[in-house]
Amino acid sequence: MSSPALRLYDVKKSYRNGAEPVHALRGVSLEIAPGEMVALTGPSGSGKSTVLNVCGLLDAPDSGQREMGGEPLDARPEAELTRLRREKIGFVFQGFNLVPVMTASDNIEYPLLLLGTPAAERRRRVDDALERVGLAGLGGRLPDQLSGGQRQRVAIARALVKSPALVIADEPTGNLDSATAAQIVELLHQLTHERGAAAVVATHDDRMTRYCDRVVRLADGLLA
């Protein structure tokens, strides 16, 4: 049996709000298999963003354990976590976070530049990514020349172009109409399955959870 793509065990995380601690996570344990897409739901303040930050190696837990591919993470130096984040994790955001002065192709290519991928391989991967998300022929357009759904497709292509082990998606349909949102979640589900990437998708939209393999609900920093 293969190791989980991501594993959290009894993860706790608190923040300071003035003199008072805010217990964002009170002991969360979660396993996500390769190729599995998990919806993370719950009201505002339930801990969804903190779970995403902990899973994406953007924030360290106060206690508990994290593993990626069966390898412990929390004793590693920050430079090593940065390398893993750059190589193994793709991010998709509600606001797309595309560089406005870069074309769609250039936005998708950027993670490969950071990894030092050779130019010919970068071009091949970018062209393939554009085709896979239904944007073949539109790589030369700037973000403001694309619709919201097309921009989110570019963001998905950018997240997946380096073949990550884990995809973190934070409200990826929040700026889209219902029909486009359904297409985006279905596309993300299809591509992560095909590539064997695990995906964690935070969403407030219960209609989107039907495209996920499993739904995890958070309330007050605990799995509900």
d(CA 72, CA 165): 15
Say if CB 193 and CB 31 are below 8 A apart.
no
The answer to whether position 49 is within a domain reads: yes
| pLDDT given for residue 156 in this prediction | 95
Buried b or exposed e, range 180-218, using 16+ CB within 10 angstroms: bbbbbbebbbebbeebebbbbbbbebeebbebbbeebeb
The answer to whether position 4 is within a domain reads: no
The answer to whether position 50 is within a domain reads: yes
Under-50 pLDDT residues of the chain: none
Task: Give, to the nearest 10 degrees, the angle between helix 104-114 and helix 148-160.
Answer: 20
Half-sphere exposure of 197 (CA within 13 A, CB side): 26
Amino acid at 180: T
Q: Which domain holds residue 49?
A: 33-62+74-223
| pLDDT given for residue 1 in this prediction | 59
The answer to whether position 13 is within a domain reads: no
Q: What CATH number should be reported for the domain holding residue 216?
A: 3.40.50.300
55: part of which helix (H) or strand (E)? helix 48-55
What is the count of structural domains for the chain? 1
The answer to whether position 2 is within a domain reads: no
Say if CB 22 and CB 15 are below 8 A apart.
yes
The answer to whether position 97 is within a domain reads: yes
The angle formed by the CA atoms of residues 199, 53 and 201, to the nearest 5 degrees, is 30
The answer to whether position 11 is within a domain reads: no
Q: What is the pTM of this model?
A: 0.92
What are the tens digits of pLDDT across the range 60-111? 999 999 999 999 999 999 999 999 999 999 999 889 999 999 999 999 999 9
| pLDDT given for residue 50 in this prediction | 94
| pLDDT given for residue 206 in this prediction | 73
d(CA 58, CA 81): 9
Q: Residue 94: helix, strand or coil by DSSP?
A: coil
The answer to whether position 190 is within a domain reads: yes
d(CA 204, CA 62): 26
